[in-house]
A and B are shown apart, each in its own frame.
Chain A
Amino acid sequence: MTISGVISTGWKSADGKRPPTLLLVSAAAVAFAALIPVAYLLIRSIGVGSEWIDIIWRQNTAAVFGRTFLLIALVTVISVTVAVPVAWLTVKSNIPLRRVLSVASVLPLVVPSFVMATTVIEMYSPKGVLQGWLSGLGVERLPDIYGLGGATLVLVLMTYPYVLLTVRGALRRMDPALEEAARAMGYGPVHTFRAVTLPMLRPAIAGGSLLVALYTLSDFGGVALLRYQTFTSTIMIQYESSIDRTLAAVLSLVLVVIAVLLLMGEGFTRGRGAYHRSTAGSVRVSRRANLGKWRWAGAGVVGVPVVIGLIIPVGVLLHWLIRGLLNNQELLPLLVPARNSLYISLLSAVVTVMAALPIAILAVRFQSRLSRFFERSIYIGFGLPGVVVALSLVFFGINVARPLYQSIWLLIFAYGVLFLPASVGALRSSLLQVSPRVEEAAQSLGKSQWRVIFSVTVPLVMPGAFAGGAMVFLLTMKELPATLILSPIGYRTLSSSIWSAASEAFFAKTAAAALLLVVVAGIPTAYLTLRGHGDNADSSDRSPQVTPVPQAKEGVR
């Protein structure tokens, strides 16, 4: 009996449908591949035996734990607090420059964490630009940017767009009649937001928060530069400072456990209520709230994170570039790294989306315990620091997949493990919008289940595939540790060029490469934001946008 036979014999999805074997096998293969880094950690840790408890406690781990959780809690709460009003203002109100602001408010996402951290230090440190301005006004000393405060600032700026994107999507999908119903029952606008809108946004907020928490858990560049020791930076120090990597492996395993706990925590927030639209019917686009004289204040609220998270960092980079050029500093030859970055990012996007497809289709169309296990197992990759994934793949490359070692395919593999969750998420919500009735219609017309997937399902989820691909492209562009470790010798990308230039304190080179990266990565992000907009509906509020209704019984992420 083949493996596929074993898997599919025991298979019955919730509604009794059996998925095509090939779909199952490919999903199983992807989930298996995504679990390789964890497998490596287990192998390394097993050798340690019962000493692992000592190892963990020797490292003053409790304190690191505490610091990590404090940072995660702060970053998540502040990101939600920033993102929800920004989402509401850019979707449901008539603030001036609404379109520009709604794109700009997502763009801090494209600034890599180590770039964001360096610009934050340049601006707000005791010797920074802001102190320079303020000392003229008699302010002696700004609060220290290093430590918890600075790390929180950097991570909030980089991660609030995750919540922003999920909440915006939910706001657009929400049936405006729900809010109208509350208004008809005597609820004022504020009360309506609290009693109806906010609870309806709960799954989106939880989903976005999960991404924020996992990112915060795995970030290295930002926290390292701001001298805040977290679990990930402890592991990194272990990796770099000792030849024996067992300790780092054990600590990484703990990190995996934390990531799993976070994933479970998000599951708990869902509860029994449903969050997709309750009945059939078309989505009517609601009229935007008229803020009247508060319009500009609303734009200001959206503008603050844009200024701090995008305009100031880009400004600092431009400043460095110009200063460097004036001092006749040499620019790196950027053409080759830029081409390499573009190439591997596109490749990574295509490969990752293709790998995500079977997982997403299984999870949405053939719900079962196994499909949930597949889906959840790939989310672990998002909680693992890039460096852990990269080093485990070095091990895998040397010992198991020798031909892949020192080729860009191993690098692509690492990106896939790291960024699968992003593309699965996008495909998943796109699939939920496609009624299974359409697929059943195709099947009734004589197509096999497998052919239906190719001729109906895949074309219909193309928007989701593009969204997911754009996200993977962006994340690949920014990724640093895995790129440094797994790139074939001499293969330079934009992010590795920034890193090497920055570590040699060539500010002009750093700035030029970083600006190029921000621009290239910004294009797909802007596309992503504009695409989800439905702004054409502005002019014709009464013509209903007919969208198929999500049929799954599960909350929409």
Chain B
Amino acid sequence: MKQIVGVADMKVSNNPAEDVITYSLGSCIGLVIYDPVVRVGGILHYMLPESAIDKEKAVQKPFMFADTGIPRLFKTAYAMGAMKPRIKIFVAGGAEILDQNGFFNIGKRNYLALKKMFFKNKVMIDKQEVGGNINRTVRIEIASGDIFLKTSGSKEVKI
């Protein structure tokens, strides 16, 4: 069964019969985490780097922002038995439109927000597929922890 993670959404599962998937990451980031010992995995699909732009919306939709979504993803996985040192991390998305520089480059800013938070909390990314001008779909199998990536018009590949 597929648990679908929408835009500004998060799903964590420990059901080995389930896949967690998020479609169509443009400049958004799909953060995938997995603890292979307890087989707990999940995906956060956030849109924007900082909740400071609109605190009210951050309360309404905490998964919309990196700074309010990322801690919730980890805490939910911890509550299901996952432990920080065992967690594997994959990051996808953060794409940009051609010539999209500086402040207008939301994809890059989304990725930098995550890197900053990970650096502060001593969290390492295991693998990533970020940037470029492509749209990505990412899926994780909870039973195995295998991660699959698909770009529009191409076949799905195992990471």
Indicate, yes or no, whether A interacts with B. no
Residues of A at the B interface (CB closer than 8 Å) are: none
Residues of B at the A interface (CB closer than 8 Å) are: none
